Structure 1
Amino acid sequence: MKKSLFLALITMLFVFKTNDVNAQRKSKKNKETVIEIAPVLKTSPKLVVGIVVDQMRYDYLTRFWDQYGEGGFKRMVNDGFNCKNHHYNYAPTYTGPGHASVYTGTTPATHGIVGNTWYDKSIKQNVYCAGDSNFNSVGTSGSEGKMSPHRMLTTTVTDQLRLHTQMKGKVIGIAIKDRGAVLPAGHAANAAYWFVGKDEANWITSTYYMDALPAWVTRFNSSGAAEMYKKPWNTAKDITTYLASGTDDNNYEGTYSKQETATFPHDLPSLWDANGGYDAIKSTPFGNSLTMDFAIAALDGENLGQDLITDFLTISFSSTDYVGHKFGVNSKEIEDTYIRLDQDLERLLQTLDKQVGVGEYTVFLSSDHAAVQVPAYLKDNNIPGEYIDLKEIRAGLNEWAKFKYGTEDLIENFSNNQIFLDHKVVVNLDLDLKSVQEAFANELLRFNDVHEAYTGYQMWQNEYSRGIPYLLQNGYNQKSSGDVLMVLKPGHISYSRTGSTHGSPWKYDTHVPLLFFGKGIEKGSTVNRTEIPDIAPTVSALLGMAFPNGATGEPIEAVIKK
């Protein structure tokens, strides 16, 4: 009996011990599971910084690589993730649609920003992508502040952050161009600021956001920060080392008003009044430096990234676009502008390291569009390129329409390479709209400089998955776009004989950089195709929040640290 009782006690103790060990193992396993899953569900940087470099081609990373320091572009590439085959998946490729697409995660077909300006068929007037007469300027007596994001139809990743954090996460947008500040900041932003030059040199905003400038903005405007850049623009390095660009003296570059040649140095003080006073800074790399000065002031003034609730700062560098338009993509000026931008990026990252903390912030960098080589330069090197006059094309179409239909009133508007037909005239002439669209498209193809033409009916009735029509369809908004869409031949532009432009569906306008860096970002690169609408969903997935409500892109899985 005693032996049986002893064995029973031993057995019970063994069972209790085994259960206790199993319980501990299960508890430990559960804890390990939580540790493994949590980072995948959500990354919580104190600050996200979204950077758009206006008119930046992807090859500016590679062409000027040897000129860059270790702390700017190279730091982002070497310690972050580089999407080497990143493209706009729509046309037209302009600043307004580009900024909207980066932050909404979709294309103009959905978010509605179909151009910088476009013809509004409902009111029969041209409208501006960020213009809004319902609001007034703050910080200037002019009309430059009458802006809002009301024409953007969907939410942005910045809006989603505001919603996700119960409006506690701050969102601030900054750019020299109003559209580069307003559209990325979204509908629910705390503020967006842009620059007015002339004789003011003020960062301003709209009553959409506030009724008076914060004290820190007023102090910055009064500090004389812009005055520091009223100086000659010479190269940051010895110009003989600028081997990734053409000669300094050539026939492919524009000049400042009252300047005899487009060569270094550019004496801004002597050209000041003839070039709009402080507006002259915009078309120099100093505009980017001033933008960076203001962005760094915003970090302090708004206490961004100073608590555990994620904030979002959007910065658009507009001066790269002004310089590209004036001097062209192969100029010494563009090379110097990117060398200086690299230095400004290093300054930003160092400031973030100090004020937010190394490993406590996340940055992405992309562009709103790229740019074409100057056609005159292409032609001189036996590469196809040409200048066209859209007025001549319209005149030719009107002449043809008068012969075919007996009237020149069928074209109501011709803009953004689209023909808007007057539907009332079509009805009054008892014509079939689809047939008229097709007739105009066929007539466009008779012009030597036109590569392709598509009708609005085709955009409505078909679903394209590749090629030019795929890009056009993604840029086509049923309420805002035209009846006939025209695509010029590669290298053919409607522009001045000097400088570069953009807007086409060709690769030189769609291929832009995409870099991710910082908290939650994997180190590496990919040559798989990624597209602009993928950016916002990637950031949303990183932060563990809902995607923008119109998003059509997908998260880039390789970017997010496992």
Structure 2
Amino acid sequence: MKNKVLATLLFSLLVVPLVQSADHAPRLVVGITVDQLRTDYLVALQNLFGEKGFKRLMAQGVVCENLVYDYPNVDKASATATLYTGTMPFFHGIPSERFFNTAFQREELILNDPSKIGNYTQETFSPERIRTSTISDEVKIVSGGLGRVYAVAPDAQQSIISAGHAGNCAFWINDRNGKWATTTYYRDVPAYVEQFNYVRSLSVRVDTLAWTPVYTPDLYTAIPYLTNDFSFKHTFSHDNRDRFTQFKTTALVNQEVTDVAVEFLDKGLLGRRGVLDMLNVGYTAGVYLDKTVQEYGLELQDTYVRLDRDIARLLDAIDKQVGLDHTVVFLASTGYFKGEAKESPIYNIPSGEFYPRRAVALLNVYLMAIYGQGDWVTGYQNRQIFLNRKLIKERDLDADEMRNKAASFLIQMAGVQDVYTSQRLLLSHGTDRLAAMRNGYCPKLSGDLVLDLCPGWEVVYEDNNDTREYVRINAIPAPCFILAPDVKPVHITTPVRATAIAPTVSRLLRIRSPNGSSESPLSEIQY
């Protein structure tokens, strides 16, 4: 009898902690990426925020002031992929939003996949170019496929990357018709999301919407540039063919995203089915019309105020439907900001203009003088130059020798700080700058030559209505927040590598990290 009692007692001591552990295991993970969100603007505007948005994350969660992406030319696609895979473009395969298709000698969106069909869109996308697993994939795997993984964002690629390979579905707003679109790569299209396209479609509402500031202009004093002392009102006329594209650069688009995200929580029963589910949400904190903060500083500040309210609404919905004590939430910036204008000539800041089309033409003439007639240069994309590898092979030439000669020629051009050949990036180890350039290089998609341009210069794209890209290499203070059960609030002021977010979140979820993630979880987190 005593042996039975003792055995029962020992069994209870072993089992109870396991039961408690399972009861406290997260039921839902919510990943939020905010394009171009800045820590300094958050701090400067916090007096205009409510208590349940950013302030709740600051008070109750892990706060990282300075999220660092260790590669140049970060954009929305590459940053989202880095956050969700826990590794660099060199491994995850998404170096930028666009790539140069050498077969057709043209630029394409990185996730373009002609083998797929779009729903409510003519765009053809899939996540198949992502070369490693993502947090979303691991959530799906750990549940044996039973967990639901959805994503919603204004942009197609932001949404698809966060949904991953194994996600149920990813939704975005179609630039042409304002519908919530997806791709046939994903097979689970909930009826309650499709209802938005019939009941609340932007295509029938957008011309009735107007963006006006929440507060009077005198309260928007956070951005240190001269701003208008009068209010603004932006509308989206039915006659404007770009109305949906323009709408997606406003603060109002975040409200549309939140509406769908809340619907997933309500109708999709996420976090309430006995398995781990995941919801991925993409927001924007960029400048209106992709212009500059000097032009639209008032609008940008209003974007932050409205974003705070959308995050508060999302967190309230999570708390109501699942409970924040059963949810892991991470919110991260994409770590770049493209809203700075070039300085006026009156300040005498060294500057200039770099014309890729002219650079390519001159390089081709130079190479013809050495190697004979031929189209030796096939294209330029994202500060990369692509040589004609097929012609080089046909002429039985040394490709590395040609790259080195091309680099020696290009570095003499005004505005070019350095030139990296593919061989130099793949085989060499050297300075931090070289390591960063290698991190952002993708051998299967990137060019033969990568240009490092001088700060203060502008890249002028003559074949795209003289579109200009201003070169700045400033480190942008990018925030990240993590809110999880039993995790004590902590404020981290030292730089945090973006590749540490995926393994940290994975540890909080008690699942394995994505297969390309070699970073350790954040050591500052205390339980």
Would the TM-score normalized by the shorter structure come out above 0.5?
yes
Q: Percent identity?
A: 28
Q: Does 2:213 match 1:247?
A: no
Task: After superposition, give the CA deviation of every residue in 1:341-361 in whole Å (9 maximum; x if it has no partner).
Answer: 111111111121212124221
Tell me which of 441, 462, 471 is aligned to 1:476. 441
Paired letter, 2:85: T
Does structure 1 residue 526 correspond to structure 2 residue 492? yes
Contact 2:271 2:322 in 1 (8 A): yes
Aligned-residue offset at 1:118:
0.8
Q: Which residue of 2 aligns with 1:218?
A: 194
Q: Distance in 2 between matches of 1:96 and 1:327?
A: 21
Is 1:205 the equivalent of 2:171? no
User: Offset at 1:334?
Assistant: 1.3
Residue from 370, 373, 382 that aligns with 1:416: 382
SS at match of 1:396: helix
Q: 2:316 aligns with which of 350, 365, 383?
A: 350
User: What is the SS of the residue equivalent to 1:162?
Assistant: helix
- Partner Cα distance (1:299, 1:503) in 2: 41
For residues 156-179 of structure 1, the C-alpha deviation after alignment (integer angstroms, 9 at most, x for no partner) is: 110001100111111001011110
Structure 1 residue corresponding to 2:69, chosen from 88, 94, 105: 88
Could you tell me which residue of structure 1 aligns to residue 235 of structure 2? 268
Pair 1:143-2:122 in alignment:
yes
Partner of 1:98: 79
Match of 2:115 in 1: 134
Once the two structures are superposed, residues 13-36 of structure 1 have per-residue CA deviations (whole angstroms, 9 ceiling, x without a partner) of xxx99x99999998898789x58x
Partner of 2:30: 49
Could you tell me how far 1:91 is from its partner in structure 2?
Answer: 3.0
Q: Relative to structure 1, is the Cα distance of residues 228 and 69 closer, same or farther in structure 2, using a 3 angstrom cutoff?
A: farther
Letter in 1 for 2:457: H
**Structure 2 spans left out of the alignment, 5+ residues:** none
Q: Which residue of 2 is the match for residue 333 of structure 1?
A: 299
Q: Distance in 2 between matches of 1:109 and 1:333?
A: 36
**Cα displacement (A) at 1:290:** 0.9
Q: Which moved more, 1:119-128 or 1:361-370?
A: 119-128
Equivalent pair of 2:291/2:339 in contact (CA under 8 Å): no
Q: CA 1:280–1:313 in 2, change beyond 3 Å: closer, same or farther?
A: same
Whether the 8 Å CA contact 1:376–1:386 is kept in 2: the answer is: no
- Aligned partners of 2:36 and 2:466: how far apart in 1? 16
Residues 133-177 of structure 1, C-alpha deviations (whole Å, 9 max, x = no match) = 222222x2x413x22111111111100011001111110010111
Whether the 8 Å CA contact 1:324–1:501 is kept in 2: the answer is no
Separation in structure 1 between the aligned mates of residue 456 and residue 20 of structure 2, nearest angstrom: 50
Which of these residues, 27, 47, 52, is aligned with residue 66 of structure 1?
47
Alpha-carbon distance between aligned partners in 1 of 2:245 and 2:342, rounded to the nearest angstrom: 28
Instruction: Give SS of 1:53's match.
Output: strand
Q: Distance in 2 between matches of 1:99 and 1:116?
A: 10
1:435 aligns with 2:412: no
Please tell me whether residue 111 in structure 1 is matched to residue 92 in structure 2. yes
- Other-structure match for 1:5: none
1:32-73 Cα offsets, whole Å, 9 max, x none, are 9x58x986x996222111111112233232232333222211
Structure 2 partner of 1:168? 146
Superposition TM-score, scaled by structure 1 size: 0.83
Distance 1:425 1:210 in 2: 42
Q: Hey, what does 1:3 align to over in structure 2?
A: none
Q: Which residue of 1 aligns with 2:459?
A: 494
User: Kindly tell me: are residues 106 and 295 of structure 1, through their superposed partners in 2, closer, same or farther at Cα, counting changes over 3 Å?
Assistant: same
Q: 1:187-227: CA deviations, max 9, x gaps?
A: 111111111254x432121221138x432123222223632
SS state at 2:331 partner:
strand
SS at match of 1:558: coil
- Residues 91, 340 of structure 1: alpha-carbon distance in 2 compared, 3 angstrom cutoff: same
How far off its partner does 1:520 sit? 4.3
Give CA-to-partner distance per residue, 1:403-446, whole Å, 9 cap, x none: 44444622122111111111243345554322221222222222
The separation in 1 between residues aligned to 2:168 and 2:378, in whole angstroms, is: 40
Which of structures 1 and 2 has the bigger CA Rg? 1
User: Which sits farther off after the overlay, 524-533 or 283-292?
Assistant: 524-533
Shift of 1:109: 0.9
Give 3-state SS (helix, strand or coil) of 1:273's partner. coil
How many pairs were matched up?
520
Q: Does 1:449 align with 2:415?
A: yes
AA in 1 matched with 2:63: N
Q: Helix, strand or coil for the counterpart of 1:315?
A: strand
Distance in 1 (CA, whole Å) between partners of 2:286 and 2:338 is 12
Q: Which one-letter code corresponds to 1:333 in the other structure? A: E
